């Protein structure tokens, strides 16, 4: 490994965040991870409390790392959650919460991280999107929207930061077995199931795909390799071959054909 870097990761209490923190700390990096509840210690990882919906808490988390280290070489925006259900049956409050956690949570952190990286003369910013940020997924519409927002923001940010030695990298995972499935909040209204008769089956297959998906340690290995690169690529799809293929198909097939494939996969009428 090259020299130890100061790395701040959001959401290390479980899933990808935890696996990345374990891997990067084992490589000798100085890893800081945000949590919002008591969790088992990870050797070499310093926990920082942060609720991504709370600007003061985010600012204080960044300040805490800077007070200790004076710099942040790598920032990984990982914290996030999913709200599921037909768009029509998602409350406005839940829709807003989805965008606030996944998109604005990242924006809040980067509001404080970008100026620091610019002043220190460089850094790496890794943001967790999803394959759901590359195609609108049925019954995960607001989740997809939050990840599309991350994609648009990062595309612009990358251009603005050209020549400043700051890399902006999108991580686009497919299905992985993490705490994500259990923490998803899905519409439970009986009418959601009668108005959208395929919803229950689709949700079951979404959850099955996640829980039988890849292990977060697989992604952590890839992310560690991306961080070690002098010039990382702009985005990395980390998934099964089948899911990578779906992204290619979306790019090359006429839109109605691709929509028909997705509809068939999700057993929509």
CB 120 to ligand NAP: min, Å: 25
Determine if 141 is a binding residue for ligand NAP (CB under 6 A).
no
Reported as half-sphere exposure (CB side, CA atoms, 13 A), residue 105 has a value of: 26
Instruction: Kindly indicate which of the ranges 75-83, 189-197, 224-232, 251-259 contains the residues binding ligand NAP, using the contact rule CB under 6 A.
Output: 75-83
Determine if 153 is a binding residue for ligand NAP (CB under 6 A).
no
Shortest CA distance to 127 belongs to which of 81, 167, 69? 167
Known catalytic membership, residue 146: no
Determine if 128 is a binding residue for ligand NAP (CB under 6 A).
yes
Rg over CA atoms, the chain: 19
Contact between residue 232 and residue 124 where contact means Cβ atoms under 8 Å apart: yes
Structure tokens at 36: 């919002």
Determine if 101 is a binding residue for ligand NAP (CB under 6 A).
yes
User: Residue 70: left (phi > 0), alpha (psi -120 to 50), or beta?
Assistant: left
Phi then psi for 208, rounded to 5 degrees?
Answer: -65, -45
When the beta carbons of 164 and 204 are compared against ligand NAP, the nearer one is 204
Could you tell me how many residues of this chain bind ligand NAP (CB under 6 A)? 29
Known catalytic membership, residue 129: yes
Catalytic residue among 129, 146, 202, 246: 129
Shortest CA distance to 94 belongs to which of 82, 78, 108? 82
> From residue 12, how far is each of 39, 66, 148 by CA, in Å?
9, 19, 23
Q: Distance between CA 30 and CA 161 in Å, rounded?
A: 25
46 forms bridges with which residues in the sheet?
A: 32
Q: Which of 27, 46, 53, 116 binds ligand NAP (CB under 6 A)?
A: 53
Catalytic residue among 147, 196, 202, 266: 147
Q: Which of 5, 6, 9, 17 binds ligand NAP (CB under 6 A)?
A: 17
Structure tokens at 14: 């479980």
DSSP state of 3: S
Known catalytic membership, residue 2: no
Q: Distance between CA 37 and CA 59 in Å, rounded?
A: 18
When the beta carbons of 215 and 267 are compared against ligand NAP, the nearer one is 215
Q: Which of 130, 140, 144, 187 binds ligand NAP (CB under 6 A)?
A: 130
Instruction: Kindly indicate which of the ranges 68-76, 176-184, 199-207, 221-229 contains the residues binding ligand NAP, using the contact rule CB under 6 A.
Output: 176-184
Known catalytic membership, residue 26: no
When the beta carbons of 80 and 138 are compared against ligand NAP, the nearer one is 80
Determine if 179 is a binding residue for ligand NAP (CB under 6 A).
yes
* Interface ranges with ligand NAP (CB under 6 A): 11-17, 36-37, 50-53, 78-81, 101, 128, 130, 173, 175-176, 178-180, 183, 210, 213
Catalytically active residues, by annotation: 13, 129, 143, 147
């Amino acid at each position: 490994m090259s020299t130890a870097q100061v790395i701040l990761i959001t959401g290390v209490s479980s899933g990808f965040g935890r696996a990345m923190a374990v891997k990067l700390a084992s490589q000798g990096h100085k890893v800081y991870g945000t949590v919002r509840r008591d969790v088992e210690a990870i050797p070499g990882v310093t926990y920082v409390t942060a609720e991504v919906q709370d600007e003061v808490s985010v600012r204080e988390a960044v300040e805490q790392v800077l007070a200790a280290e004076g710099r942040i070489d790598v920032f990984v925006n990982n914290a996030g959650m999913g709200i599921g259900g037909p768009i029509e049956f998602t409350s406005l409050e839940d829709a807003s919460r989805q965008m606030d956690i996944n998109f604005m949570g990242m924006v809040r952190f980067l509001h404080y991280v970008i100026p620091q990286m610019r002043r220190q003369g460089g850094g790496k910013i890794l943001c967790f999107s999803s394959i759901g940020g590359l195609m609108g997924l049925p019954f995960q519409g607001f989740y997809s929207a939050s990840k599309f927002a991350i994609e648009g923001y990062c595309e612009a940010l990358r251009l603005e930061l050209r020549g400043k030695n700051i890399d902006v990298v999108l991580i686009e995972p497919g299905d992985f077995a993490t705490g994500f499935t259990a923490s998803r909040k899905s519409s439970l209204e009986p009418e959601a199931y009668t108005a959208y008769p395929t919803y229950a089956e689709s949700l079951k297959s979404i959850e099955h795909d996640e829980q039988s998906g890849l292990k977060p340690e697989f992604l952590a290995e890839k992310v560690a390799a991306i961080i070690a690169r002098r010039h990382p690529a702009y985005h990395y799809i980390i998934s099964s071959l089948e899911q990578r293929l779906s992204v290619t198909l979306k790019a090359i097939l006429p839109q109605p054909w691709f929509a028909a494939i997705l509809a068939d996969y999700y057993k929509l009428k």
